Chain A
Amino acid sequence: MSTDRELRKGSAETLILALLEERDRHGYEIAKLIDSRSAGALKFHVASLYPTLYRLERRGFIQGKWVEKAGMRRRRFYRLTAAGQKVLDAQRRSWSTFFAALNRVAGIGHA
């Protein structure tokens, strides 16, 4: 049970980091992207998305900043930091190891 939760938490964090690797995004955009890219399988509740973002920011993996542009809403944008990039790379490696292992043992492939 705890592994499952860890996995989901870990995967959510990895997902967020991966989304921010492409470019800076704000919270609502992140929520929508996770929803669409996981085809609804991972759905973020507001109650857990923002605390997750803060947790990542506390650890120094991402950095948030309020941005105001003329004629636009004031939004808080998040950017991947160098430390975040390192973690993302490491996560990617361990995930691929994990899936490779799963694949060998149970024949579960990931696309």
Chain B
Amino acid sequence: MPDTAVPGPRDFKTLVRARIGGVPGDPLREADIVDELAQHVAEHYAELRASGVPEPDALALALAPFDDPREASRSVKAFADRRWRSLQSPAWPPPSRGSIAGALARDVRYAVRLLLRAPGFAAAAIITLALGIGANAAIFSVVRAVVLKPPPYRDPSRVVVFLNDRTSAPGSITSSSLPDYEDWQRQLRSFEGLGVSSGWTFNITGLDLPERVFGARVSGSLFPMLGTPPLLGRIIEPADDGAGGEEVLVLGYRVWQRLFGGDRHIVGTSIVLEGRPHLVIGVMPPRFRFPTDDTEMWAAIKDNMTGMPRNSRFMVAAGRLRPGVGLAAAQAEVDTLSAQLQSAYPETNKGWRVRLAGVHDAIVGDTKSALLVLVGAVGLVLLIACANVSNLLLARATSRRRETAIRLALGAGGGRLVAQWLTENLVLSLVGGAGGVALAYGAVQLVVAFGPSDVPRLDETVVDAAVLAVTVVIALLAGALPALAPAVRMLRSSSHTALKDGTAGYSAAARGRGGAALIVGEVALAMTLAVAGALLFKSLARLTAVGPGFDPARVLSLKVFLTPPRYRTVASGKQYVRSSLERIAAIPGVESVGAVTQLPLGDPSSTQLFEIEGRAVAPADRPVAGYRAVSAGYFGTLRIPLLRGRALSEDDRENSPLVVVLNEASARTFWPNEDPIGQRIRWATGVRPFDEPWHTVVGVVADVRSSGLHKPEPPAIYAPYTQRLFPWVRWNSFVVRTHGEPQSYARAIREELTKVDPMQPIYQVAPLDTVISQSVAARRFHTGLVDVFAALALALCAVGVYGTIGYWVAERTREIGVRMALGATRRTIMLMVVARASGFTAIGVAAGIALSLATSRALSSLLFGVGSFDLATIATVSAVVLVTGAAAAYLPARRASTLDPLSVIRGE
């Protein structure tokens, strides 16, 4: 550097800046600091030069303080000290003049600058809001997909489903029979069109491996009635359903993707179903479902149902109301027709009621109440988050009361100040909302990936425009609500007191009261949620502790569905089962094997009317029981205990006397005061050959939980599959007890079954343990979510208690100092603070118990084995909440107890 080049002030700035690096915080403030340090260096330099120090030495000496990197960083750290950043507030926004938009823009800018200056506060508020809003956005996405979004039918509100109920046992059967449907279609005038479908399992045999797809056979009128345009090709039309003619097939989106790789040229090609070619005529869009969530392809009914008796109710009938016809009017017409049918066909129709229901309700079903509980739970989380933010704002309002007082004194309108406060909080909540959307997006991916498969349409959950819109509304509310209380309070009080004095004023008392109220509210809400979570958790524990009534350990289950044309006759189906049982039993390591038409917890039940010998009853009052055809080895394989008489044996053959075995529920229900062994029954299917012969009851076995761990076993009758098997019972499960890990036998069993029939698909190969845990998957999912929310609520609540008590301690520093100076021990001080916090928490817990009782009704349908007012649960949760509150108060209490009394009293 040449001697003549004297650095100017600007150069010193560069030199200083290069040495201290960046000063965290506001760039304006940083410029100020650098400016002042540069001034210092320049003065020193000028002085050294004036006293004759040569240029390079003077420069080096002046800059020396910044040469030591440790000193330089200390200097930067000192500047970065958070406490002094609030030194200078940005200039107040000018009083409102001109457009509202202009004022808003100024307020937003001012709010952003203020928040940047208080990063701790902003981060706490934003994270709290993001958690609350995110949880709500995620659950709203789920609820929207599962409950709110209408199915993609044309004008879906006019589509109704026909539900059949026995008046004596409401809710027992919900499907319709084909003859009833045909009468409805001919005679009902309230409907523009009717359609019917029947669940059907298709075995696809033209692919590399035989595949089994669950689908439906539908009347030609069904698709035109629903009115969903196909994604590709065309829908099934009345002409496709006529006798003869080509078999046509419409694919669901998922099966189209899974089996055919989304091939757009699939339309017009043939697929081999049951060994017969079916022409693919169309592909439905992704969201199309009918009648159930898992229906993946549709074929026409054609002659597959011909001759179905009127009491075979397993078809889903639906109709489209004519414009202007309400549900009530249609129901009235259906009631009239039902009465006519009852008198025309008393044997099959007496005692039945037909109810119309919106198609949406019918599909969503009982998932609704669980989801509504979830909505309530996240709502509570959001309220708690809002309370926390409100608390933060109150604390901040205290530190800003001077600013407000001055601005009010200078003539700023109260409305203007509130508007600006709101703007600040809306900026917070919108940033929190953005974070919430990100959280929700992640959460939804998790829900779709890990959620239970039996919640309908769960996989349709997406964070879309509607979810975003609702999130924005939630965020705006979450921004406005917490801000109102502190804003109003500040306006009311600050002008009188804050100007007079920097420390006293409204804050201690009013803020204390506000904070306490918020804490009590927060604790009450968290308590409610925690009680709900604990009750659901207890229900799940009780439920999984319920014995299924059989021993699932080391048992592998697998299913086949025996369909025409290869298994058109009952004899061919029996032959398949017999050969399969023999081959599986011969596999090394297999202990025993059995077959059953209804796998416990894995299959829908099939019920059958019957008559008891010697009891004359009207046809409508005939008893009904579950019908299960089993092999002789079934009870032994599942270790279902025999209670009376004998189990079925290999000696019960086609031509030996017809026998049945009852479950305990049957024995109890139909022979309450007598021994059922030796009694005789006969079926009342409506199909003569099956209804004639009598069957002798030879044994009673224990109940198994066949239709859900939470449901008591209904009466059921077991018949040997070797005897009179109903031809419409086509499904069959094998259960295989093994000596080792059951899944490891899957391959060998498959190979043996392939030898019996290489074209027969085998599906749902799973250990029974897994089948049982799958049966509670949805409940586990809901319970897990509620428990996560309860934990979140407790955590937010703890933060709230911590903040409020911390503030309370800070306000009372002087009082605490005096107490200590007067001889209070640290222990006493800690106890005082913790007792204060526990007082708030205890009031909150009491309010929470009351709130739990008020909301328990909503929960009761989801509970199992535990009442909605469970003292043990409430006591445990209360203890947890109280301990949480005390723990949250511990840090502030410790801080209070370690105060130095002298410096406190002497200090400012």
Which residue, of A54, A57, A59, A75, has the highest number of chain B Cβ atoms within 10 A?
A54
Q: Please pick, from A29, A46, A75, the residue contacting B37 in the complex, using a CB distance under 8 A.
A: A46
Does B808 sit within 8 A of A, measured CB to CB?
no
For A29, give the chain B residue with the smallest CB separation.
Answer: B43
Does B71 sit within 8 A of A, measured CB to CB?
yes
Contacts of A46 in B (CB 8 A): 37, 40, 65-66, 75
CA distance A46 to B86 in the complex (A): 22
CA distance A73 to B75 in the complex (A): 24
For A48, give the chain B residue with the smallest CB separation.
Answer: B78
Q: Please pick, from B36, B74, B78, the residue contacting A76 in the complex, using a CB distance under 8 A.
A: B36
- Minimum Cβ distance to chain A for residue B504 (Å): 16
Whether A28 and B74, one on each chain, are in contact in the complex, defined by CB atoms closer than 8 angstroms, is no
Whether B40 and A28, one on each chain, are in contact in the complex, defined by CB atoms closer than 8 angstroms, is yes
With A73-B9, A73-B43 known as contacts, the answer to whether A47 contacts B84 (CB < 8 A) is no
Whether A47 and B36, one on each chain, are in contact in the complex, defined by CB atoms closer than 8 angstroms, is no
Whether B87 and A31, one on each chain, are in contact in the complex, defined by CB atoms closer than 8 angstroms, is no
Whether B65 and A74, one on each chain, are in contact in the complex, defined by CB atoms closer than 8 angstroms, is no
With A47-B75, A51-B81 known as contacts, the answer to whether A58 contacts B40 (CB < 8 A) is no
Contacts of B44 in A (CB 8 A): 28
Q: Mark A20-62, 1 if CB is under 8 A from B, else 0.
A: 0000001111010000000000000111101100110111000
Whether B39 and A26, one on each chain, are in contact in the complex, defined by CB atoms closer than 8 angstroms, is yes
Whether B37 and A50, one on each chain, are in contact in the complex, defined by CB atoms closer than 8 angstroms, is yes
Does B731 sit within 8 A of A, measured CB to CB?
no
For B85, give the chain A residue with the smallest CB separation.
Answer: A58
- Minimum Cβ distance to chain B for residue A78 (Å): 10
CA distance A51 to B83 in the complex (A): 11
Whether B39 and A76, one on each chain, are in contact in the complex, defined by CB atoms closer than 8 angstroms, is yes
For A58, give the chain B residue with the smallest CB separation.
Answer: B87
Contacts of A27 in B (CB 8 A): 36, 39-40
CA distance A77 to B39 in the complex (A): 11
Contacts of A28 in B (CB 8 A): 39-40, 43-44
Whether A74 and B9, one on each chain, are in contact in the complex, defined by CB atoms closer than 8 angstroms, is yes
Whether A47 and B74, one on each chain, are in contact in the complex, defined by CB atoms closer than 8 angstroms, is yes
Does B33 sit within 8 A of A, measured CB to CB?
yes
Whether B39 and A51, one on each chain, are in contact in the complex, defined by CB atoms closer than 8 angstroms, is no
Q: Which of A64-80 contact B (CB under 8 A)?
A: 73-76
Contacts of B869 in A (CB 8 A): none
- Minimum Cβ distance to chain B for residue A70 (Å): 15
With A58-B84, A74-B9 known as contacts, the answer to whether A45 contacts B40 (CB < 8 A) is no
Contacts of B79 in A (CB 8 A): 50-51, 54
Does B42 sit within 8 A of A, measured CB to CB?
yes
Whether B43 and A47, one on each chain, are in contact in the complex, defined by CB atoms closer than 8 angstroms, is no
Contacts of A50 in B (CB 8 A): 33, 36-37, 40, 75, 78-79
Whether B78 and A45, one on each chain, are in contact in the complex, defined by CB atoms closer than 8 angstroms, is no
CA distance A27 to B16 in the complex (A): 16
Whether A54 and B9, one on each chain, are in contact in the complex, defined by CB atoms closer than 8 angstroms, is no
Whether A58 and B83, one on each chain, are in contact in the complex, defined by CB atoms closer than 8 angstroms, is yes
CA distance A89 to B5 in the complex (A): 48
Q: Please pick, from A6, A29, A45, A57, the residue contacting B71 in the complex, using a CB distance under 8 A.
A: A45
Which of B's residues lie within 8 Å of A, judged by CB? 9, 33, 35-37, 39-40, 42-44, 65-66, 71-72, 74-75, 78-79, 81, 83-84, 86-87, 903, 906, 908
Question: Which 10 A-B pairs give the minimum distances between C-beta atoms?
Answer: A47-B75, A51-B78, A28-B43, A46-B65, A58-B87, A28-B40, A47-B74, A58-B84, A54-B84, A76-B36
Q: List 30 A-B contacts (CB under 8 A).
A: A6-B903, A26-B39, A26-B43, A27-B39, A27-B40, A28-B40, A28-B43, A29-B43, A31-B40, A46-B37, A46-B66, A46-B75, A47-B65, A47-B71, A47-B74, A47-B75, A47-B78, A48-B74, A48-B75, A50-B75, A51-B78, A51-B79, A54-B79, A54-B84, A55-B84, A58-B84, A58-B87, A73-B39, A74-B9, A94-B906
Which of A's residues lie within 8 Å of B, judged by CB? 6, 26-29, 31, 45-48, 50-51, 54-55, 57-59, 73-76, 94
